[in-house]
Chain A
């Protein structure tokens, strides 16, 4: 079956950039997503990228897609304590949204 992988933890200092990485296995995915989950809450869509794009920027967020390596990344510029959350990578494959394990981002002062 389809597999989406992420590292479990990332710790950064406030003001630095954060880069969260994700790899997926099926090149036929049409859309790839980044979701944010704050403690005790549901999932909030941050951004998504169509599979024929290489990069998408939205304010402090930059998504890079390397289709050859099946690698997706999310860069958060000027990371703030409010960015502390779990970040999920997901792909739309065969009509289903498949999620990675999530990366817990901790931002320290």
Chain B
């Protein structure tokens, strides 16, 4: 049982480049979400999804896009990376009460 799998674990981008952070879960959870973690600011919600085909914005959505074509996958896209997007990104999935987190992607934008 893999749980929540995020790839890649580390990434360095140049300003203006695009990339997709992958997130997959094998627990058939309806809810999936993306967070970014910055020092002193905790985890802030970027986007979330309550099921396949349904997504919504969280607290800090600007600069990020998501889609949810299947229950298992919830990729996060950065269309034009900026240094302000340097952070650690976590994907989470939840069925009812308990959320499970991936191990995180450390992204640096130079």
When the two chains form their complex, are residues B103 and A42 in contact, meaning their CB atoms are under 8 A apart?
A: yes
Of B31, B44, B92, which is within 8 A of A95 by CB? Answer: B31
Contact residue range for chain B?
20 to 34
Residues of B within 8 A of A48 (CB): 97-98
Nearest residue (CB) in B for A99 is: B43
Query: Is A1 in contact with B101, judged by CB distance below 8 angstroms?
Result: no
Given known A-B contacts A88-B42, A88-B43, A101-B40, A96 and B33 have beta carbons under 8 A apart: yes
Q: DSSP class of B's interface residues: helix, strand, loop or mixed? A: strand
Bound form: Cα–Cα A78–B94 in Å = 31
Number of interface residues of A (CB under 8 A): 22
In the assembled complex, the Cα of A105 lies from the Cα of B57 at a distance in Å of 32
> Is B90 among interface residues, defined by CB-CB distance under 8 A?
yes
Which of A43, A96, A100 meets B45, CB within 8 Å? Answer: A96
Decide: B101 and A99 in contact? CB cutoff 8 A. no
Query: Given contacts A101-B40, A101-B41, is CB(A96)–CB(B35) below 8 Å?
Result: no
Enumerate chain B interface residues (CB-CB to A < 8 A): 31, 33, 35, 40-45, 48, 50, 58-59, 90, 92, 94, 97-104
List the interface of chain A (C-beta within 8 A of B): 1, 4, 6, 8, 31, 33, 41-45, 48, 88, 92, 95-102
